[in-house]
A and B are shown apart, each in its own frame.
Chain A
């Protein structure tokens, strides 16, 4: 009896402990480091962001560098994907989101307040391939590229590929197309480009983060596509410029609207943004694929930070706009380092982003002007 009693009390004790622990686990973080409240002591502000994976390496570099400049702001960024970033900023579970593609009107309507799109840097999508014995970079005109990915051009020695690449010894083998199989901004930019340059693509496939691919096989992520292209001869695929450069993949030259075959350099990408500034709407939601201009690389896009125009918490809002301001100014110097091949915004765009950042308010007061 005595024994059973002690067992019972022990169990009761354990149970109480477990309940208390789980309660602490449930309620602890939300009061400690959530979206509400501007952090505990010392005047530090904690910000949480999430979204696009594409700019993640650069954002992480920025956050560690900015932490040295402004020790008061502690900013975290999680690369969970553009779709998840949009979802979380709509639900206000994070302080800022990030997306490679602008939000649609429907998505904006679901947000409880006015969301701003802040372009931070530019990226590009490059076409990579695995062809033995071909040393010079291949060249593709838009229609040929579309027909390869549509599955209409099936052999590497097709007359139309030959016409773009005079003097290149192309093999008489089947083309294996490799595309991204996970939903991604890279696919959105690439399909957006193909839709603009090829009516058949627009009608049959369309534009999106995931599409119904008419041909080929899918790889997961940039690394998956790269792996499948590298491991299989006679393949063609597309990856982000920021991934292709450090990995030294062969990249194709693409014929732009002016008729020049252009390599995907950072300058050519920034040029694509500069050419389209006049057509960029006030809310910055724009596609800059296939622009005019002699030197532009035609498969490029902005990557955006998403934030609410009216910030609930003035201290957090100010820390956020200050960080973004720093990013488009001082932050651009890191894009010159070879491991961060992102194209900086053209000067005129920087001016427009400054205006945008100055328009962010909290309780009716502009946040930048209060400094």
Chain B
């Protein structure tokens, strides 16, 4: 009975009446069943606990950053100085390093992950797909410190010997590829991040694509679409899921600490070159938190954590909007 009420289009005046006579019993269980009420309360409590944890974290971080906010104000966001000796702190190099390394990771990882996922779902015969799936998922289980070690002893020397010198030769006129080549820097950090988030993105995208109904593919093929065109239809159908996968990967890239710290060079400076050392917020927190005894210093570090929160929000939002607009475009063309 109550279900029918809910389903029926209710005039706004009825909403107002409901709001005035708030009924806890009805709010807890629209069906009037006591078991449902308990179940619903338990679910609500779980959701509430999560909200409380986030709120408590933000509150603690915000209150501890007060000394730093007082001392530097908005200048903290634009200052490039980070000097624990003189007590001058600014966040810009860290924000830059965090955003750049994550963007670089996504630029490399997203096409790669989509390729892996499409191949596994659309093209590969089962006996090839299984072992590849297994290996990709294995990559996700490797601890980040192992990635870091591998990066120092394999990836960084490889980039230094075989990748960066040709880049400097051919594209040296771009500021992106200038400066001393050491193998340690923003580029290496971004690449290791790309490798680390690829298994996550590709695993989720694979599940998303597998969930696209077979009838979509059959319809496309029946209309005379090629393999490539069929894949575009499938990708367009999985758009929101793919967006979720990318955001998941981005989340790991932004928060990743250990491997990046070992490879990015940890230098709080903004340089146009991808070869130059850089620094991320997560890295500086991990590096300097244990030995920061001065109150302002500690507060500045905590404020960096607060900024990381906001950077995550902003990038997440931007990524959502971007992917949403892109997939809307493709689904339109797919329909056309």
A174 interface contact, C-beta 8 A: yes
Q: Is A208 an interface residue (CB 8 A)?
A: yes
Asked if B85 contacts A211 (CB within 8 A), the reply is yes
Q: A4-B35, A7-B35, A227-B149 are in contact. Are A183 and B291 (CB under 8 A)?
A: yes
Residue in A1, A207, A218 whose beta carbon sits within 8 Å of that of B85 in the complex = A207
Q: Is A212 an interface residue (CB 8 A)?
A: yes
Whether, in the assembled complex, A197 has its beta carbon less than 8 Å from a beta carbon of chain B, the answer is no
Tell me the complex Cα distance, A313–B232, Å: 74
Q: Is the CB of B262 within 8 A of A217?
A: no
Does A86 make an interface contact (CB < 8 A)? yes
Stretch with Cβ within 8 A of A (4 or more), from B12-20, B121-129, B151-159, B213-221? B151-159
Across the interface, do A224 and B261 meet the contact criterion of CB distance under 8 Å? yes
Name the interface residues of B169-206: CB closer than 8 Å to any CB of A.
180, 182-185
Q: How far is the CA of A86 from the CA of B292 in the complex (A)?
A: 10
Contact (Cβ within 8 A) B182 A217: yes
Q: Which residues of A contact B261 (CB under 8 A)?
A: 181, 220, 224
B322 contacts A by Cβ under 8 Å: no
Q: Does B265 contact A (CB under 8 A)?
A: yes
* A213 at the B interface (CB under 8 A): yes
Any B CB within 8 A of the CB of A118: no
Q: B293 at the A/B interface (Cβ < 8 Å)?
A: yes
For the complex, is A23 an interface residue (Cβ under 8 Å from B)? Answer: no
Q: Contact at B85–A83, with CB atoms within 8 Å?
A: no
Q: Is A4's CB under 8 angstroms from B288's CB?
A: no
**Pick from B34, B83, B156, B262: contact of A224, CB under 8 Å:** B262
**Contacts A206-B85, A232-B160 hold; do A220 and B153 have CB atoms under 8 A apart?**
no
Contacting residues, chain B, for A211 (C-beta < 8 A): 83-85
Hey, what's the 0/1 contact readout for B259-296 against A, CB within 8 Å counting as 1? 00110011110000000010100010011111111000
Flag if A213 contacts B267 (CB, 8 Å): yes
CB pair B266–A232 under 8 Å, yes or no, is no
Residue pair B82, A183 in contact (C-beta under 8 Å): no
* B63 beta carbon closer than 8 Å to chain A: no
Number of interface residues of B (CB under 8 A): 41
Q: Is the CB of B152 within 8 A of A228?
A: yes
A217 touches B291 (CB 8 A): no
- Of A80, A107, A205, A232, the contact of B182 (CB 8 Å cutoff): A232
* Given A11-B42, A217-B267, 9 further pairs, Cβ under 8 A: A8-B34, A82-B291, A83-B293, A84-B290, A211-B84, A212-B81, A212-B83, A217-B182, A224-B262
A67–B86 alpha-carbon span in the complex (Å): 44
| B46 contact set on A, CB distance < 8 A | none
Q: Mark A3-16, 1 if CB is under 8 A from B, else 0.
A: 11101100100000
A–B pairs, 22, beta carbons within 8 Å: A1-B34, A3-B35, A7-B38, A82-B291, A83-B291, A176-B182, A181-B266, A182-B291, A184-B291, A208-B84, A209-B291, A211-B83, A212-B83, A216-B267, A217-B184, A218-B267, A218-B279, A219-B262, A220-B286, A220-B287, A228-B152, A228-B184
Q: What CA separation (Å) do A7 and B35 show in the bound complex?
A: 6
Cα separation A83 to B320 with both chains bound (whole Å): 41
A232 touches B35 (CB 8 A): no
A26 is an interface residue with CB less than 8 A from chain B? no
Are B34 and A218 in contact, with the CB atoms below 8 A?
no
Asked whether A217 and B33 contact (CB < 8 A) given A8-B38, A232-B156, the answer is: no
Contacts of A107 in B (CB 8 A): 293
Residues on the B chain within 8 Å of A212, using CB: 81-85, 268
Q: Which residue of chain A is the closest to B154 with respect to CB atoms? A: A231
Interchain Cβ contacts within 8 Å, total number: 114
> Looking at the complex, which one of B34, B157, B267, B290 makes contact with A5 (CB distance below 8 Å)?
B34
| Complex Cα–Cα for A174 and B180 (A) | 8
Please name all residues of chain A whose beta carbon is closer than 8 Å to the beta carbon of B83 when the two chains form the complex: 211-212
B-to-A contact residues, CB < 8 Å:
33-36, 38-39, 42, 81-86, 149, 152-153, 156-157, 160, 180, 182-185, 261-262, 265-268, 277, 279, 283, 286-293
Q: Which residue of B lies closest to A235 (CB)?
A: B182
CA distance A205 to B82 in the complex (A): 12
Contact A183 B292 (CB under 8 A): yes
Q: A231, B84: Cβ atoms under 8 Å?
A: no
Per CB-CB distance, the 7 closest pairs between chain A and chain B, nearest first, are: A183-B291, A218-B266, A81-B290, A4-B35, A181-B266, A83-B291, A217-B265
Residues from chain A with Cβ under 8 Å of B289 in the complex: 183
B93 CB to nearest A CB, Å: 11
Indicate whether A245 reaches chain B with its CB closer than 8 angstroms.
no
- Name the distance in Å between A208's Cβ and chain B's nearest Cβ: 5
Q: Please determine whether B33 and A4 come into contact, CB atoms closer than 8 angstroms.
A: yes
Tell me the complex Cα distance, A191–B94, Å.
Answer: 24
A93 within 8 A of B: no
**Distance in Å: Cβ of A185 to nearest Cβ of chain B:** 8
User: Which residues 211-254 of A sit at the B interface, judged by CB distance below 8 A?
Assistant: 211-213, 216-220, 224, 227-228, 231-232
Q: Is there an interface contact between A83 and B292, defined as CB atoms closer than 8 Å?
A: yes
Check B157 against A210 for contact (C-beta < 8 Å): no
Give the CA-CA distance A293 to B300 in the complex, in Å. 42
Residues of A within 8 A of B82 (CB): 212
A87 close to B (CB within 8 Å): yes
Residues of A within 8 Å of B152, CB to CB, are 227-228, 231
A232–B261 Cα distance when bound, in Å, is: 16
Residues of B within 8 A of A207 (CB): 85
Does B293 contact A86, Cβ atoms closer than 8 Å?
yes
Give B45's nearest chain A residue, CB to CB.
A15
Bound-state CA distance A9–B156 (Å) is 61
Q: Is the CB of B267 within 8 A of A210?
A: no
Q: Which chain A residues lie closer than 8 Å to B266 at the CB level?
A: 181, 217-220
Chain B residues positioned under 8 Å from A80 (CB to CB): 290
Name A70-88 residues within 8 Å CB distance of B. 80-84, 86-87
B82, chain A: closest CB distance, angstroms: 6
When C-beta atoms are compared, the residue in chain B nearest to A231 turns out to be B152
A175 nearest CB across to chain B (Å) = 10
Whether B287 and A183, one on each chain, are in contact in the complex, defined by CB atoms closer than 8 angstroms, is yes
Query: Which among B149, B182, B262, B265 has the highest number of chain A CB atoms within 10 Å?
Result: B182
Given A227-B153, A231-B152, A231-B156, verify A8-B35 contact (CB < 8 Å): yes
